[in-house]
Structures are given as C-alpha cells and as structure tokens.
Amino acid sequence: MYCCEEHVELAIDIIVDELETFPQLTQMEDEQNLSTACEYCRNTAIYVVANK
C-alpha cells in the first residue's frame, strides 16, 4: 500500500488486521514518490506498507 504521512497508521492497522503480522514500512525515495499517490486520499505517497 502506498500512503501519505497522514494515513500510514491506517495502512499498518489494515495489514495487521488482515494478515496478522507486522508489516514492513519503507520510506520512498524522492524520485519514486513524484508520481505515486496515497491509496486513501490521493496526496503524494511517502511510505510503502507491505507484508514482505
């Protein structure tokens, strides 16, 4: 899940609830986040929350 600063906690909670494991949180590089939008609000994504 790509998410902004505001929605990173929501993304973590969703992964924990659905997969019952703590997700891997990665901050995106400046070049990557120029065209990537948050999946919740369409602002620029700053983090990738993933299960692997």
Rounded CA-CA distance 18/12 in Å is 10
Give, as one character, the DSSP assignment of residue 52.
-
Q: Specify the pTM.
A: 0.80
Rounded CA-CA distance 21/38 in Å is 22
Give residue-wise pLDDT tens across range 1-48: 999 999 999 999 999 999 998 899 999 887 665 688 999 998 999 999
